[in-house]
Amino acid sequence: MIGGQPGRRATLLITGSAFFMVLLDTTIVTVTLPSVQRDIGAGLGALGWVVTGYALPFAAMLLPAGTLGDRYGRRQVFLVGLAVFTLGSALCALANGLPLLVTGRAVQGVGGAALGPASLALVAAAYPNERQRVRALGVWSAFTGAALPAGPVIGGLLLTATSNWRVVFAVNVPIGVITLIIGARALRDGPARTAARLDIAGLILSVGALAPLVFGLSYAGSRGWSDLRVLGCLTAGIVLLPAFLIRQSRARYPMLPLRLFRDRLFDTATAAAFTVGFVLTSHTFFLAQFFQDVQGLDPLASGLRTLPTTVAMAVTAPVAGRLAARFGYRMPVALGCAIGGAALLTLLRLQPDTAYSRLWWDLALLGAGFGLTLSPLIGAVLAAAPPELSGAASAVNNVARQLGGTIGIAALTTAVTARTATGLRATMSPENAGRLAHAGATAARATGPQGIAVGHAFTAAIHVTFIVNAALLLLTATASAALLTRRRHPIPDASPAHAIA
């Protein structure tokens, strides 16, 4: 029974493990790309589709998946999503060329999009009491929050042990099958389910707006904002997104009920989730380049240096759930954002030759800040939404974080490239400075004065990302302290006497 403690714990373990795989595959693939390129002979541009082929369907299908869960049942959508994700992993493991690999990644993305909103909605249904739910979400976030920084570590370990990039995908298959079998027996759906029909027009407009928007933002940093494909995709997304919102305001059964945004708690938590996605994704992106290209570490060693962040997130996420249950959502979110912002400012002393012994504490502090924010933000979104819309609400939370991360990388890549070029002009011609800046941190691997110059220029440039991200987190801390207020009545106690009453 879902109401029993063993059933609740099983729900938490199954949904957390499944979504851990989904988020893990967002970053684990980065360490496989050089091996993939050597094995199947893909060019650098085509190789990018191994990443984009996953991100596009994942972002585009989040909202439809949340609505499908509310309409047809979160358990069914979760199990179908898990089966699809496992199938995509098998296709990637069997791929003998780029087309099948990208197809497998796209299938993974569709399955992952179904798993995200459904897993959160299942946890919400298993823990209807709000105090218990935020504690459970703390445990769930400890599972899933560590997945992104853990990706390069696990990928590096698998590659080191097997020297075969296909193992990175193949390992998902037995885990997915076992989780699917256990989930089919143990998971139970919640009682709340909307009777609304599926909004086909809204679904088409949603996918049509998010897919080109994510594609354009993903390539804006590397190809430039003036690239015709980037401009075309961004224009299509910007045009179709208002059309989608207009459709949702007029539809009898909207895929995204806009009444969710009338709640200040929901709006504030969604905006904060966007900021956390912006900062967490962009920070991980640039720090990996610093470790690998500037300091010359291999992917495994680089991934291991992110362990303080991963461990701190896993440790503080359950604590955040307990703090939110006792004091409300704003205290852990404001505290976490303030700690994260302070940690980023301490990284301004980073130099190409900075010893890791001087960095690990800052990275752990940053992870602690992120860990304090994740589960309370999810809990706030679910608390603000009626139970029958928990799938749509969790989908909005996931979309906000996904778009935040995509925009963060795009915007800050542009800033870092410009700042790197400015730093290099002091030692070389503007043409060479621009060429090396657009090559990115990889140019720092070159031997001699040129590599040293690029390493120093890139390191100075990523200080801009620390300042921007710190400012965003500190602003979010202030806004959360003022606006992320819990309900007028305190969260009800979870004691047996209260439950009986």
Shared-domain flag, residues 244 and 266: no
Q: What is the DSSP letter of 445?
A: G
Rounded Cα distance, 426 and 16, in Å: 50
Domain edge (last residue) among 252, 283, 318: 252
Rounded Cα distance, 200 and 197, in Å: 9
Is residue 362's pLDDT more than 60?
yes
Q: What is the pLDDT of residue 480?
A: 94
CATH at 174: 1.20.1250.20
Averaged pLDDT for residues 359-371: 94
CB 381 within 8 A of CB 394: yes
Per-residue confidence band for 196, with pLDDT thresholds at 50, 70 and 90:
low
In this predicted structure, which of 330-339, 372-381, 445-454 has the lowest mean pLDDT?
445-454
Burial of 481 (0-12, 13-18, 19+ CB in 10 A): middle
In this predicted structure, which of 115-119, 140-144, 235-239, 455-459 has the lowest mean pLDDT?
140-144
Shared-domain flag, residues 204 and 294: no
Is residue 29's pLDDT more than 90?
no
Rounded Cα distance, 494 and 259, in Å: 29
CB 278 within 8 A of CB 408: yes
Model pLDDT for residues 47-92, shown as the tens digit of each residue: 667 877 888 888 888 888 888 887 788 899 999 999 999 999 999 9
Shared-domain flag, residues 246 and 283: no
Shared-domain flag, residues 372 and 335: yes
Rounded Cα distance, 486 and 331, in Å: 10
Is residue 158's pLDDT more than 50?
yes
Q: What is the pLDDT of residue 222?
A: 66
Half-sphere exposure in the Cβ direction for 328 (13 Å, CA): 17
The tokens for 238 are: 């910007």
Q: What is the pLDDT of residue 341?
A: 96
Q: What is the pLDDT of residue 173?
A: 94
Shared-domain flag, residues 236 and 108: no
Is residue 294's pLDDT more than 50?
yes
Q: What is the pLDDT of residue 2?
A: 38
Mean residue pLDDT of the chain comes to 83
Is residue 500's pLDDT more than 70?
no
Shared-domain flag, residues 426 and 459: yes
Rounded Cα distance, 238 and 209, in Å: 7
Q: What is the pLDDT of residue 5?
A: 62
Q: What are phi and psi of 492, to 5 degrees?
A: -65, 145
337, amino acid identity: C
Question: Percent helix, strand and coil across the chain, each rounded to 5?
Answer: 85, 0, 15
Per-residue confidence band for 451, with pLDDT thresholds at 50, 70 and 90:
confident
Number of domains in the chain: 2
For the beta carbon of residue 166, count every other beta carbon within 10 angstroms: 19
Closest C-alpha among 32, 205, 202 to residue 105: 32
* Torsion of the alpha carbons at 10, 15, 21 and 26, rounded to the nearest 10: -160
Instruction: Note down the domain range covering 233.
Output: 199-252
Shared-domain flag, residues 344 and 433: yes
Is residue 389's pLDDT more than 60?
yes
Domain edge (last residue) among 252, 270, 297: 252
Is residue 137's pLDDT more than 60?
yes
Domain edge (last residue) among 236, 252, 268: 252
Give 23 or 465, the one with higher predicted confidence.
465
CB 474 within 8 A of CB 341: yes
Per-residue confidence band for 254, with pLDDT thresholds at 50, 70 and 90:
confident
Shared-domain flag, residues 310 and 188: yes
**First CA to last CA across the chain, in angstroms?**
21
| Contacting residues for 271 by C-beta, under 8 A, at least 6 apart | 400, 476, 479
Averaged pLDDT for residues 133-158: 80
Q: What are phi and psi of 180, to 5 degrees?
A: -65, -45
Q: What is the pLDDT of residue 406?
A: 81
The tokens for 453 are: 């110059």
Q: What is the pLDDT of residue 136?
A: 85
Q: What is the pLDDT of residue 1?
A: 36
Q: What is the pLDDT of residue 391?
A: 79
Q: What is the pLDDT of residue 40?
A: 77
Rounded Cα distance, 83 and 89, in Å: 10
